Amino acid sequence: MLLRWLQARFPTHPIPPKPSLLPFDNTNQLFHNGLVERPNDRFSRQLRLLLDPQRVWGPRKDAALEMPDAVTDADAALQAGNQQTLADLADQVAALDRDLRAHSKRVEETWIRIEKKLDEREKKVDQLGARLTKQENMLLGDGSGRPFSTVLFPDGRDLKDVTLFGAIKCANDILLLSNAELMQYYQLYYPDGAVPDTSHKQRQAVARAIGYTSII
């Protein structure tokens, strides 16, 4: 009875929960959403601010950031120097090309003169060889014992370079030449001479050309 009277006289009330400093019960959700910093995060941020070199030593001065104009000028000067170097090299290459062309032209002209002189000397050698062969054939009589040697034509060719009906090996070969063969021989040995009006004169001329002079 006493207990009931006390409970009726002094009713009990539930003890309210400990009030939270935050208007939300789920503090972990706040930490997760970044709305509230955790104590450790807040301490780390304050420590970083305290140890920030810019707060201790002042803002860092970067030479590259302080002198953008100087760097730009240096790059421009380097680029201008490279362009000038390329221009100088191009001029030198052009000058070298002109010198090579001039030298090549002089060499070509020199070779032309040399070839001309060689041709002249070769012609003289051929003429000398023809005269020597004619003199040798003069010593062979009519060629019956030893055949005549071939005398080069005035242009330096011999029988291998032209189409003839046959080589003259002795005096009898001259007498046996047909009119066509005789005319061909005559024109080869006397390209600039007038053709004689008779075949007998043509045979005498061909005989003299090879060094045989006994045909009357």
pLDDT digits (tens, 9 = 90+) for 105-151: 889 889 898 988 888 888 888 888 888 999 999 999 988 889 999 89
Question: pLDDT class for 159, splitting at 50, 70, 90?
Answer: confident
The residue-averaged pLDDT of 167-172 equals: 89
Query: How many secondary structure helices (H) and strands (E) does the chain include?
Result: 9, 0
Report the pLDDT value the prediction gives residue 88, as an integer from 0 to 100. 85
Query: What is the Cα gyration radius of the chain?
Result: 62
Cα separation, 177 vs 58, in Å, equals 123
pTM reported for the whole predicted model: 0.48
Cα separation, 200 vs 142, in Å, equals 17
Report the pLDDT value the prediction gives residue 116, as an integer from 0 to 100. 87
**Burial track 52-81 (b if 16+ CB lie within 10 A, e otherwise):** eeeeeeeeeeeeeeeeeeeeeeeeeeeeee
Report the pLDDT value the prediction gives residue 202, as an integer from 0 to 100. 92
Structure tokens at 159: 């029988």
Report the pLDDT value the prediction gives residue 63, as an integer from 0 to 100. 46
